[in-house]
Amino acid sequence: MVSRFEGRSRWSVSRPGRHSRRVAAVGSLLGTMAILSTGLAPHALAADVRSQQWYLSAMKAEEMWKVSTGEGVKIAVVDTGVNPDTPSLKGQVLTDEVPEALGYKATVDHDGHGTSMAELIAGTGTGGSLRGLAPDAKIVPYRIATVGLNKAERTKAPDVRKVIKAIADSDVKIINMSFGSEYDTPGLDEALKYAHEKGKLLFASTGNDAETGGKINYPARYPYVVGVAASDESGKVGKFSEYGNYVDLAAPGLNVPTWCDESFNRYCTGEGTSMATAIASASAALVWSAHPDWTANQVLGSLIDTAGRDWARDDPSVYLGYGLIRPRKVLEKKNYQPGPPNTDPLAKENVRGVVTADGEPVSASKESKPQPSKGAPADGDRTSETASGADESDNTMLWVTVGATAAFLIMGGGAFAAYRSRRGT
């Protein structure tokens, strides 16, 4: 956000790109246009949407669920609100744990994005709906102001800094932030640092504008926040996925089912770093549930150590960070040693801040784009190829502003290719 920040935050969310494939043959239009129903029976929709969750088999979810389902872990979804009444989320959303002063319409999702993130994390799959990667985790919803709201509702939405501080003082373990902006928000870094000090694990989208000269994004850019990039089935990072030394991990983010819109009538498939962030949060929940005595540092450290990559652990990629997230590699080892509880796995980045490939502090402009190289191995230990052609889709997103000028967005859209480059040292 800009230094002229005054008043309440006003944030954003993503919709599937124009060329996103439709689940259950549903017609999908851009923005807030109508979703055309084909009249398919619910069982037909259910069967199709579950078949679209390719990442569950790629990540070997069934095997992981024999060890951990995320039980006992609460995840705050800071987004457009979360609808607790979808088949996938009934009984999963802890509405009574949101402070009254910060709970304005937390369970009214005006866009469908926040509900989608919650289902990707902790959906039960009831009736053939989306199955979350951590189906026994619980969601604590927060609705922040977005561009789809009128002025009256925007002013009632809680200040995101107060939201983060409130979450920090709760027993929530993970904060999912599927949004980002090129602008700094005065005071938000302090709130996030406070949450880190209180033992929370913070995940944020890295952004979707790499192909159009996009900027390095907040809050992923802040210290203590795990920046998540989006990858496809082969482990390739999306062309649209923002890059820089604030990218820490990558997770599936292509052809992932989400609700088409706020009507909650149909699922559509889309791509973006929002979805990747939710899947990363769910991955952390699986590990933390299996090891409830671990600290946030140990959970994150284990995910970094076991991430799929074809480069040295101490030589992270500006596109894929430490690699593709693989929680099963932690869960399959009963005696996994996570390292010291107070050692920050991102200490180098957190102390030095975001830097260019030459090791210089990043200015408001984007760092120079490194030359493409190899991608990361997929969860099945496959190594991706170098950049190749891919079907392109529009980068469609809903903007959110802070004060009068700054803008936040929740990620959506883009096409995928493989890139890998070393971070600046």
Question: Average pLDDT for residues 120-134, to the nearest whole number?
Answer: 96
Q: Partners of 207 in the beta sheet?
A: none
Angle, alpha carbons 359-360-364 (nearest 5°): 135
- What residue type is 298 in one-letter code? Q
Residues recorded for the chain: 425
Q: Are 346 and 303 in contact (CB under 8 A)?
A: no
Q: What is the pTM of this model?
A: 0.80
Q: Give the pLDDT band (50/70/90) at residue 31.
A: very low
Q: Determine the pLDDT at residue 348.
A: 81
Confidence check: pLDDT of 102 > 90 = yes
pLDDT, one tens digit per residue, over 270-283 is 899 999 999 999 99
* Three-state DSSP state, 389: coil
Q: Determine the pLDDT at residue 153.
A: 87
Q: Which residues of 150-159 are buried (b: 16+ CB within 10 A; e: fewer)?
A: eeebbeebbb
Task: Give percent of the chain above pLDDT 70.
Answer: 71
Domain assignments of the chain as residue spans, ordered by start: 10-409
Angle, alpha carbons 312-313-314 (nearest 5°): 90
| The token pair that represents 120 in the structure block | 């990707």
Q: Determine the pLDDT at residue 86.
A: 97
In angstroms, the Cα distances linking 337 to 229, 287, 302, 303, 340 are 26, 12, 8, 12, 9
Phi, psi of 292 (to 5 degrees): -65, -15
Q: Mean pLDDT lowest for which of 151-165, 331-345, 361-375?
A: 361-375
Active-site positions read 79, 113, 274
Residue 227 CA to residue 16 CA, distance in Å, equals 21
Type and span of the H or E element at 416: none
Q: Determine the pLDDT at residue 229.
A: 97
Residue 358 CA to residue 338 CA, distance in Å, equals 32
Confidence check: pLDDT of 247 > 90 = yes
Question: Average pLDDT for residues 393-397, to the nearest whole number?
Answer: 33
Question: Of residues 1 and 111, which shows the higher confidence score?
Answer: 111
Q: Give the pLDDT band (50/70/90) at residue 389.
A: very low
**CATH number assigned to the domain with residue range 10-409, chosen from the 4 options 1.10.10.10, 3.30.450.90, 3.40.50.200, 2.30.30.90:** 3.40.50.200
Q: Give the pLDDT band (50/70/90) at residue 26.
A: very low
Residue 61 CA to residue 232 CA, distance in Å, equals 17
